[in-house]
Every structure is written in structure tokens, then in C-alpha cells.
Structure 1
Amino acid sequence: MKLLPYLLAGAVLLTSTGAHAVNFCGELKNHYGPLDYRKRGEVNLEIVENAHFTPEVEAGIKGNTSYLGGDLDYTLRAIPNHPRALATLAMVALRDKQVKVPATKWPVECYFNRAIRFAPDDAAVRATYGSYLLALGKTDDAVGMFATAVEMAPEDPTINYNAGLAYLKKKEYAKSLLHAKKAYALGFPLPGLKNKLVAAGKWDEPAQ
């Protein structure tokens, strides 16, 4: 696979919600939906999930009605801001070292672009995108995504934790520590970020 065209497209998609990105990543109108993931109970998400986002699809093992990528594509066209489906798509792409998963319509970053266009105020989408960008080594872009996510959901422990990881990778220790302490105060259970800050000499308590 030639990666360069997709990587260049991703650079445009990351910063643009204008006509180029819209055209490249497709219109949001879909034969079913688009539906807002946050309105579960008000809209029928299960009709999509039961067929196209089964446990094996979510785990990135295999598709249910078609190829794995086909089921993920259907889920994300019907429910663009489905954070678990976005996370699975990103995981599969990273695992298989691909920027476009087979049987999907667009590169991975397009699905995040579409999710942000559909639900610009959805913190979970921004945070999931931030994690994907961080895994790609796009640390500055990841930090920007997490900063926006934290603004939208300042009391979310997982978002604060992952923002702390992003700032740590950028060696912005004061901001990493701020988000780490917020995450732990809100009950986040995993000690990984704290232990990394201890190892860097930026935490004033011993690691567990």
C-alpha cells in the first residue's frame, strides 16, 4: 500500500472542516441515520450494533455481516460519533500498520473528521482521536485534541488521564501532573501515568 497520499490527506483533514475535507470524506447523509451515539434510548442504535458491531467486531477479530472493515464502516456511517467503533477502527489500523482498513470507504482520519463534523461538541470523539494521533506519533496534534476534549468534559477521569499521557509524551510535565491528579481525584484506577511521572521525578509521592 502507498501510504503517502493518505498521510497527506490526513494532514489536511486534521485541520480542515471545509469543502475539501467534506468532499474527500463524504457527506454525512446516510440511508440509515446518521444517529447520535449520545442519544441511546431515544434512537435505535441497537439495530446497527446487533448486526454490525458485535463483540467480535469490537475486538477487531472478524466481521459479522461482511469484512471487518465493512461492518466498522457501516456502523460509523450510521452512527458517526460511536466512540467504541472509532476506537476499534483506530486499533485495527495501528495493529495492521494501515491508514485505511480494508473494506472501509476512507482513511481512518476521515471517520474522525466525519464524527467531529457530525458532533463537534462530543468530547469522547476528540479524546479517541487524540489517542489515535498519539499512537501515530503526532504528539502536538494529539495534545490539541485532548485540550479540546478536557474543555468539553473537564470532570471526565479517563479524558484527563489520557490528556496527562499526551502532555507527558511532550514533556510538558506540569500539565501532565495537573491532569494526572485530576484523573486520580475523580477515581481513575490505573497507576500507569502516576508511575511514569514518578520515574521522571515529577511526582511528590512514591509509585505504587
Structure 2
Amino acid sequence: MKLLPYLLAGTVLLTSTGAQALNYCGELKNHYGPLDYRKRGQVNLEIVEGAHFTPEVEAGIKGNTSYLGGDLDYTLRAIPNHARALATLAMVSLRDKQVKVPATKWPVECYFNRAIRFAPDDAAVRATYGSYLLSLGKTNEAVNMFTTAVELQPEDPTINYNAGLAYLRKKDYDKARLHAKKAYELGFPLPGLKNKLVAAGKWDEPAR
């Protein structure tokens, strides 16, 4: 699903992680946190998730303590690199065709900007952002994001699979096949990427 063109135009500025985006997307300092999602067990993430990132929030159904956007905003201000919350925010934005989900403080791309500023070495954030950019039709930006994600976590099957999808969208079949084979070697279970490459005549064995 793609956002309407006039909505897309409003997101161009936010792909930058420089000073301009910093001013627009706010400081990372928060009254609680910011906490690193990767340090679960070392820091208390549950106090945030238990109130603001319930299963219904994650599914994009409704908020728990306030509006859906309010709970996602609280979660991502407290835990900027919460990849699952970022994925939910992106999903709601695409579903409702809004670059700024109601009751959030910033447009969606700001939350990715903040996550990258907070944890530039977090491959899950880069990959989630890459998927969002791909859904917006921003193929080159998505490929760049997945390239970094793979560099940070080269043995992750899901990241390789989604990187392959991005390269396939770009019609860079060699790299799409490379990441597909890596993903399947690492045990990724879904055949979709392989089947698309077979259909394009860019695979060297039959699809199952």
C-alpha cells in the first residue's frame, strides 16, 4: 500500500539524520529513558510495555492508556529503538494513509530518525525502516537502509530476505538472488522471494 503523493512529499525532509532533522524531530532526552530495546533484562522495559505496548496496541487495534498513537508515541520516546513498536507505527501509518498518526508528536519518519540517532548500530531498526520505505515506493532509500542493516547483522535470515525483496524491486537480480540464497541457507522459511526470482528467470533451480 502506498501513501498518496501529497503525503509522500511531506516526508522527504525526514530521511536525513542531520541537524535539520534533529531540530524537527526533537531531542532524545525523555522523562523516562531513553532505554535501549536490546538491553532487555538489564533495564526495565516492561514498565513501559505493560502499560503502553499491549497486544492490542501492537496489533494496531486500539490504545491502552490513551489513543493508539499516544501509546505508540510514549513507547518510542521511552525506548526509541523498539523495533516492534516502530513496525506497528509504520503499519498504522500505511493502513490509514497518514504520515502522522493521530496523537503522536511527529510524523512516522521522525521516530525512525530518532531510533537511528539513538542506536545507529541497531540492524533491526534499519531493517524495519527499510521495509517502511519500500512500502512508500522509496526503493533506493530502502536498499540503502537494508545495505546498512546487512552490514550490521549479516547472519540474520529475515534481514537478508527483506534486503532481497528490496533489490528485487530495484531489478538488481544478482543482489536479490545473493541475499535470497543467504536467507535460505540461514533457515528462512518462506519461499516468496525465491518464487519471484524463479518467475523472473533469475533463479538456477526450480521453486518448491
* Same fold, TM-score > 0.5, yes or no: yes
- Report how many residues are paired: 205
Q: Does 1:11 align with 2:12?
A: yes
Q: Is the 8 A contact 2:90 2:132 kept in 1?
A: yes
Q: Corresponding residue for 1:81? A: 81
**CA deviation map 1:7-63 (0-9, x unaligned):** 45532221x222211110010000000000000000000000000000000000000
**CA deviation map 1:40-96 (0-9, x unaligned):** 000000000000000000000000000000000000000000000000000000000
SS in 1 for 2:11: helix
In 2, the alpha carbon distance for the partners of 1:3 and 1:187 equals 38
**Structure 1: segments with no counterpart, 5+ residues:** none
Q: Is the 8 A contact 2:11 2:99 kept in 1?
A: no
In 2, the alpha carbon distance for the partners of 1:127 and 1:170 equals 17
**CA deviation map 1:144-201 (0-9, x unaligned):** 0000000000000000000000000000000000000000000000000000001000
In 1, the alpha carbon distance for the partners of 2:5 and 2:116 equals 23
State percent identity of aligned pairs: 85
* Larger relative contact order, structure 1 or 2 (CA cutoff 8 Å, min sep 6): 2
RMSD of the alignment, in Å? 1.3
1:153 aligned partner, one-letter code:
Q
TM-score, with normalisation over the residues of structure 2? 0.96
**Structure 2: segments with no counterpart, 5+ residues:** none
* Residue 204 of structure 1: how far off its partner (Å): 1.2
In 1, the alpha carbon distance for the partners of 2:169 and 2:126 equals 18
Q: Does 1:169 align with 2:173?
A: no
Structure 1 residues 26 and 7, CA gap change in structure 2 (3 angstroms): farther
Matches within 5 A, 1:1-208: 4=6, 7-8=8-9, 10-14=11-15, 16-208=16-208
1:12 aligned partner, one-letter code:
L
